[in-house]
Amino acid sequence: MALLFWHAEARTRHVSPGCWAIGHLDPCHSHVESLVCQRITLMRWIPPRSLGDRTLWAEEHPWIAGCYFGLMLTVFISAFEMIRTRASIWLVLAIGVPTWVFAWVPFSLMVKRRFGQRPHAEQHPTPTWRRPWTRASDRVLSLLILMGLLGVLAWLGGLITRTENPFLAGLVLVSGTWFLGTAWVERQRRRREPV
């Protein structure tokens, strides 16, 4: 990393909200080499709205994507547990901040190493909200179906026995049904595809 700063001159200029253009000018011996060495890359700090663009953005910037994923996971789990157990804000912060860090690093490494993707994932369509698992491997689809089924059954049991908050149980049932349904449809679509 030190060599990068020692051998490169970095210029930065603001392009649009959430986007920075960073130009690196490497020291070269001739004018032609200096034109070849100069490269301009766009770095987006805020993820795009569409799921397909967000997937491509996460693959380009896995550490920023891991930070966002860890933050969103922490906020969701913290809010969920605060409503469910009526925990104090200090307990939630004491558990939430380490959770953010522990979710950030593994998710970044999984995205960087393309963990859970099917072979030649680039040749398959980018995910959408209707087909979010187009690039997921068959094992991940099986795991999603199993987790969705177990989650729906467990929270349905809690809703029937009235041991869980109806609002939270409904929220988990809707999201679990979405996971289960989209993974099942993707698996059936792959079984119908010619090999």
Which string of DSSP letters, residue by residue, matches 35-75?
HHH-EEEEEESS--SSHHHHHHHHHH-HHHHHHHHHHHHHH
> What is the spatial distance between Cα 27 and Cα 30, in angstroms, rounded to a whole number?
9
Question: Are residues 87 and 128 located together in one domain of the fold?
Answer: no
Question: Are residues 107 and 154 located together in one domain of the fold?
Answer: no
Q: Which pLDDT value is given to residue 183?
A: 93
* 60 within some domain: yes
Q: Which pLDDT value is given to residue 20?
A: 43
* 1 within some domain: no
Distance separating the N- and C-terminal Cα atoms of the chain: 45
Mean pLDDT, range 96-110, rounded to an integer:
88
Mean pLDDT, range 36-43, rounded to an integer:
47
Question: Are residues 194 and 124 located together in one domain of the fold?
Answer: yes
Binned at pLDDT 50, 70 and 90, residue 195 comes out as low
Q: Which of 17-31, 34-48, 79-93 has the lowest mean pLDDT?
A: 17-31
Residue 29: count of CB within 10 angstroms of its CB: 8
Question: Are residues 150 and 187 located together in one domain of the fold?
Answer: yes
Question: How far is residue 98 CA from its own chain's centroid?
Answer: 18
* 90 within some domain: yes
pLDDT per position as a tens digit, 136-192: 999 999 998 998 899 899 988 888 898 888 888 888 899 889 989 999 999 999 988
Q: Identify the domain boundary among 66, 81, 115.
A: 115
**What is the span of the domain harbouring residue 152?**
119-195
* 52 within some domain: yes
Q: Which of 20-24, 126-130, 179-183 has the lowest mean pLDDT?
A: 20-24
Work out how many domains the chain is built from and give that number.
Answer: 3
* 12 within some domain: yes
